[in-house]
């Protein structure tokens, strides 16, 4: 397809800074590829071109397109992520900062392990939550180019400050670099050493950056540092799709770029090649409410399609049923394939009722960017508690719940299982007996706790109350908070959703057994046999993807915009609006949006309760509903 006027202008831009503002579906990847090829055709040495992306997937896609267009066996100039660039640089220049070329790169898990090791060596006893605080502090201060004093102020605790300082020292002494350190160390070396800086600036004379609105402070500084001499920097950006502020992305960097380079050329890619005019109109009306929005004409030459459909449903269970039924109609009557459709939601836990309805309806599906709801660890742990309640000889469930108890390892579990078999008693009784014979206080307390929990009185006619009792008596929420501080809220939300899901069996004979049977059907591997599946994912996971048909569910005040995001972030409402915009603009042909009039959940006594819900303000802003109609 021929390039349009604005795309051509961007591709043919040669020297000087340039900001390309791109709308969703405007062909920005093609522009980056074609501009790279055009530079080479203009006799620019390929080795002088630097293309930076945010994901390996995007980098590989760009490499492949460039390779095919130029007829190469492989691309021999740099197209990759910020981290891969800095890792490559540090292999060559790391000695300026005391690193040898064979340094080890630490991932997130490695980083946590090293933090604990530093604490042990200093005879400090810290929990996982404290270790996460240290991890966050040492990462953030380097990503945002703060001084170490920021870490001291953030942590406030002398012990944790010593661990943070010891962690950074240990990295350098042991030739270890984490992800934040890759960019930070590269920047410091380039800043301090003119010979290195001159060589790199004369190498990377032409710099192209994709998704520039997602850069953090250190990434943005690196761009300007490398491109500072020749100033041939092209940023491709859409501030309306900046949805990663919670992990340090700064869409404000685009404004700073324009201020820094007053003669910067600005080219707007406003024509959408993905969506229908109806989808474009709704998304455009919404995003204009953001102050950060750059006022460019958002348009498309695509043929007219159906209006965006917005439906009110009674609750999330009815919503899931409606979505499943509509998908079946689209497949059976509309000729669409399951793989043509995606369901988007704000929070991971919202997949549960959808997964249930998809399974019951025989619709193949896949959760993208995460586990299926009933495969998530905290949910499987809760299932194990419930299974063992119903069958005290269930060794698989018993083994899993024992892993939640400090001090109980496979040797102890083996002793309990052996006692149960030899004495022909259940595992609860065996736990109690072994607990009285073991010297370890931790193990003895754990065995007694298991025995005590399962000898409690349970209301078997009330599955939610049984689950809440188990979760409470095992201290499971505290366990999640301590073990997974970075996403404790999401994990506890999933536990709550599991409890809510059991609520429909309150008062039923053998309700718990029926609930567990339903779960086993949903978690069956049968649904994995087909490749042609409906995609389920969070709105954050949807960025960069597109589908002919999109369902956005739970578009309600407090969910989208998410109340926690609004409360905790000064710009939270704007980022939530951008997130909604991203969801809408994933759709090519049909966009369905649903919101619930109420939410069904389990109350404190284990009985189902109804909580009033209301439409999101974004639906009014997008012109999909009128406030006076409700």
Domain CATH number, residue 241:
3.40.50.300
Last residue within a domain, chosen from 220, 254, 272: 272
Upper half-sphere CA count for residue 151 (Cβ side, 13 Å): 27
Beta bridge partner(s), residue 590: 549
Asked if 318 and 383 sit in the same domain, the reply is no
Query: Which of the four pLDDT bands, split at 50, 70 and 90, describes residue 531?
Result: confident
- Mean per-residue pLDDT of the chain: 91
Q: Is the pLDDT of residue 526 over 50?
A: no
Q: Is the pLDDT of residue 528 over 50?
A: no
Express each pLDDT in 573-585 by its tens digit. Answer: 999 999 999 999 9
* Catalytic residue chosen out of the listed positions 21, 53, 215, 241: 241
Asked if 494 and 557 sit in the same domain, the reply is no
* Catalytic residue chosen out of the listed positions 34, 143, 178, 211: 211
Give residue 523's pLDDT.
Answer: 59
Rounded mean pLDDT of 519-545? 75
| Residue-by-residue DSSP string for 290-314 | STT------EE-SPP-PPPEEEEES
Element (H, E) at 162: helix 158-173
Asked if 443 and 464 sit in the same domain, the reply is yes
Asked if 75 and 222 sit in the same domain, the reply is yes
Asked if 403 and 499 sit in the same domain, the reply is yes
Give residue 529's pLDDT.
Answer: 43
Q: CATH number of the domain that 459 lies in?
A: 1.10.486.10
Q: 95 lies in a domain?
A: no
Greater model confidence, 614 or 629? 614
Rounded mean pLDDT of 616-622? 97
Q: Is the pLDDT of residue 336 over 50?
A: yes
* Catalytic residue chosen out of the listed positions 28, 400, 415, 465: 28
Number of domains observed in the structure of the chain: 4
Least confident among 178-187, 204-213, 323-332, 408-417? 408-417
Rounded mean pLDDT of 578-607? 92
Q: 10 lies in a domain?
A: yes
Greater model confidence, 239 or 120? 120
Upper half-sphere CA count for residue 100 (Cβ side, 13 Å): 4
Q: Is 433 a catalytic residue?
A: no
* Catalytic residue chosen out of the listed positions 8, 29, 252, 433: 29
Asked if 390 and 355 sit in the same domain, the reply is no
Give residue 609's pLDDT.
Answer: 85
The structure tokens listed for 21 are 């503002």
Least confident among 115-124, 246-255, 562-571? 246-255
Express each pLDDT in 189-203 by its tens digit. Answer: 999 999 999 999 999
Asked if 82 and 207 sit in the same domain, the reply is yes
Other Cβ atoms within 10 Å of 74 Cβ, number: 6
Q: Is the pLDDT of residue 242 over 50?
A: yes
Asked if 543 and 511 sit in the same domain, the reply is no
Express each pLDDT in 297-331 by its tens digit. Answer: 788 889 999 999 999 999 999 999 999 999 999 99
Last residue within a domain, chosen from 485, 501, 521: 521
Asked if 299 and 438 sit in the same domain, the reply is no
Give residue 486's pLDDT.
Answer: 81
Asked if 384 and 516 sit in the same domain, the reply is yes
Asked if 435 and 558 sit in the same domain, the reply is no
* Catalytic residue chosen out of the listed positions 210, 214, 357, 556: 210
Q: 190 lies in a domain?
A: yes
Q: Is the pLDDT of residue 288 over 70?
A: yes
Distance from C-alpha of 267 to C-alpha of 242, rounded to nearest angstrom: 19
Share of the chain above pLDDT 70, in %: 97
Q: Is the pLDDT of residue 630 over 80?
A: no
At residue 443, φ and ψ (nearest 5 deg) are: -70, -40
Whether the CA torsion 320, 323, 324, 325 is positive or negative: it is positive
* Catalytic residue chosen out of the listed positions 586, 588, 589, 599: 586
Q: 465 lies in a domain?
A: yes
Q: Is 29 a catalytic residue?
A: yes
Q: Is 412 a catalytic residue?
A: no
Helix/strand/coil for 315? coil
- Which residue has 């109804």 as its token pair? 610
Q: Full-prediction pTM beyond 0.75?
A: yes
Q: 97 lies in a domain?
A: no
Q: Is 211 a catalytic residue?
A: yes
Give residue 530's pLDDT.
Answer: 53
Burial zone of 164 (CB within 10 Å; 0-12 exposed, 13-18 middle, 19+ buried): buried
Rounded mean pLDDT of 562-579? 92
Least confident among 18-27, 137-146, 173-182, 294-303? 294-303
Do 53 and 210 contact (CB within 8 A), yes or no?
yes
| Domain of 213, in residue numbers | 5-87+184-272
Give residue 245's pLDDT.
Answer: 66
The structure tokens listed for 11 are 């591709």
Q: 99 lies in a domain?
A: no
Asked if 456 and 574 sit in the same domain, the reply is no
Distance from C-alpha of 428 to C-alpha of 317, rounded to nearest angstrom: 36
Q: Is 564 a catalytic residue?
A: no
Q: Is the pLDDT of residue 525 over 50?
A: no
Q: 429 lies in a domain?
A: yes
Q: 219 lies in a domain?
A: yes
Q: Is 34 a catalytic residue?
A: no
Query: Which of the four pLDDT bands, split at 50, 70 and 90, describes residue 475?
Result: very high
Q: Is the pLDDT of residue 544 over 70?
A: yes
End-to-end Cα distance, the chain? 46
Last residue within a domain, chosen from 272, 293, 315: 272
Distance from C-alpha of 303 to C-alpha of 295, rounded to nearest angstrom: 24
Rounded mean pLDDT of 101-110? 87
């Amino acid at each position: 397809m021929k390039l349009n006027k604005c795309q051509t202008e961007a591709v043919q831009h040669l020297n000087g800074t340039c900001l390309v503002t791109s709308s969703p579906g405007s062909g920005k990847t093609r522009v980056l590829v074609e501009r790279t090829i055009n530079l080479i055709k203009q006799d620019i040495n390929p080795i002088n071109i630097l293309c930076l992306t945010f994901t390996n997937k995007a980098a590989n896609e760009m490499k492949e397109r460039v390779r095919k267009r130029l007829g190469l066996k492989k691309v021999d100039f740099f197209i990759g992520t910020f981290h891969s660039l800095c890792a490559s640089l540090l292999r060559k220049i790391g000695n300026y900062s005391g690193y040898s070329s064979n340094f080890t790169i630490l991932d997130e898990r490695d980083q946590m392990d090293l933090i604990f090791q530093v604490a042990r060596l200093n005879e400090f006893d810290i929990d996982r939550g404290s270790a996460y605080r240290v991890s966050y502090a040492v990462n953030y201060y380097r990503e945002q180019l703060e001084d170490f004093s920021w870490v001291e102020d953030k942590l406030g605790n002398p012990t944790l400050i010593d661990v943070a300082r010891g962690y950074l020292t240990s990295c350098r002494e042991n030739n270890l670099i984490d992800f934040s350190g890759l960019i930070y160390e590269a920047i410091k070396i380039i800043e301090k050493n003119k010979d290195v800086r001159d060589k790199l600036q004369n190498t990377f004379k032409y710099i192209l950056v994709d998704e520039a609105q997602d850069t953090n402070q250190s990434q943005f500084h690196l761009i300007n540092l490398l491109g500072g001499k020749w100033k041939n920097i092209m940023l491709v950006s859409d501030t309306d799709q900046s949805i990663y502020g919670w992990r340090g992305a700064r869409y404000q960097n685009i404004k700073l770029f324009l201020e820094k380079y007053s003669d910067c050329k600005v080219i707007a890619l406003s024509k959408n090649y993905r969506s229908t005019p109806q989808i474009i109109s709704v998304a455009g009306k919404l995003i204009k409410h953001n102050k950060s929005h750059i006022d460019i004409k958002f348009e498309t030459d695509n043929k007219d399609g159906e209006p965006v459909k917005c439906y009110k449903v009674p609750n999330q269970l009815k919503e899931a049923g409606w979505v499943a039924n509509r998908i079946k109609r689209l497949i059976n009557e509309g000729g669409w394939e399951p793989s043509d459709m995606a369901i988007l939601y704000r929070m991971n836990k919202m997949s549960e009722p959808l997964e249930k309805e998809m399974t019951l309806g025989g619709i193949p599906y896949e959760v993208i960017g995460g586990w299926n709801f009933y495969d998530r660890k905290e949910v499987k742990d809760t299932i194990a508690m419930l299974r063992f309640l119903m069958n005290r000889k269930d060794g698989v469930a018993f083994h899993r719940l024992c892993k939640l108890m400090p001090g109980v390892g496979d040797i102890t579990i083996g002793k309990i299982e052996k006692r149960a078999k030899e004495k022909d008693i259940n595992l609860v009784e065996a736990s109690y007996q072994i607990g009285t014979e073991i010297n370890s206080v931790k193990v003895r307390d754990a065995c007694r706790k298991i025995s005590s929990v399962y000898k409690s009185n349970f209301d078997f006619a009330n599955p939610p109350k049984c689950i809440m009792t188990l979760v409470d008596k095992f201290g499971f929420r505290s366990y999640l908070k301590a073990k997974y501080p970075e996403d404790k809220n999401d994990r506890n939300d999933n536990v709550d959703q599991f409890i809510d899901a059991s609520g429909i069996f309150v008062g039923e004979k053998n309700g718990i057994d029926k609930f567990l049977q339903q779960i086993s059907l949903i978690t069956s591997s049968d649904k994995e046999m087909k490749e042609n599946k409906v995609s389920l994912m969070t709105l954050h996971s949807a960025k960069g993807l597109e589908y002919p048909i999109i369902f956005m569910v739970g578009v309600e005040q407090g969910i989208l915009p998410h109340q926690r995001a609004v409360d905790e972030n000064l710009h939270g409402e704007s980022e939530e609006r951008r997130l909604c915009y991203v969801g809408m603009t994933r759709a090519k042909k049909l966009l369905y949006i649903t919101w619930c009039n109420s939410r069904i959940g389990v109350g404190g006594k284990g009985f189902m309760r109804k909580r009033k819900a209301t439409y999101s303000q974004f639906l009014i802003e997008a012109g999909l509903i009128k406030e006076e109609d409700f």
